């Protein structure tokens, strides 16, 4: 497995490629608990600029995130509906067996090689 070392963090590149849409949405929603710029959201959620823009546009249309223009910057903030989504997402993760996604990915890898 490939690793990217950035400062003192070690991040599995393969794992980031395999995140589900719900994992990405949850990462974005967690990063906008306080008002944040798109750049900070992009780094916190580990997304490219294009990916971040697409997800934010979708989350705004779905009323999960609210855009705030304060004159000099555009900031993003989670909405009550976004908070509810995040709460349900966290509950769902608690119900799933630990490591189910990694196990499915590993089994698929072994079967296809």
Please tell me which residue, 17 or 59, carries the higher pLDDT value. Answer: 59
Radius of gyration of the chain (CA): 16
Q: Quick check: 24 pLDDT over 90? A: yes
Q: What percent of the chain has pLDDT over 70?
A: 70
pLDDT in tens, 31-85: 999 899 999 999 999 999 999 999 999 999 999 999 999 888 999 999 999 999 9
More confident residue, 8 or 91: 91
The answer to whether residue 42 is domain-embedded is yes
Quick check: is 21 in a domain? yes
Q: Check residue 37 and give its pLDDT.
A: 95
Q: Is position 105 within any domain? A: no
CATH of the domain at 81: 1.10.10.10
Please report whether residue 8 resides in a domain.
no
| Boundaries of domain holding 84 | 15-96
Q: Give the chain's count of helices (H) and strands (E).
A: 6, 5
Position 27 in a domain: yes
If one counts the domains in the chain, the total is 1
Residue indicated by tokens 């989504």: 85
């Amino acid at each position: 497995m490939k690793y990217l070392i950035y400062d003192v963090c070690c991040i599995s590149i393969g794992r980031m490629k395999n995140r589900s849409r719900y994992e990405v949405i949850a990462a974005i929603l967690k990063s906008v608990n306080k008002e944040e710029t798109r750049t900070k959201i992009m780094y916190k959620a580990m997304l490219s600029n294009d990916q971040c823009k697409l997800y934010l546009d979708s989350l705004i249309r779905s009323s999960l995130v609210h855009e705030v223009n304060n004159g000099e910057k555009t900031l993003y903030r989670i909405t009550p509906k976004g908070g509810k989504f995040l709460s349900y997402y966290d509950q769902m993760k608690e119900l799933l067996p630990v490591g189910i996604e990694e196990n499915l990915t590993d089994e698929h890898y072994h079967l296809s090689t």
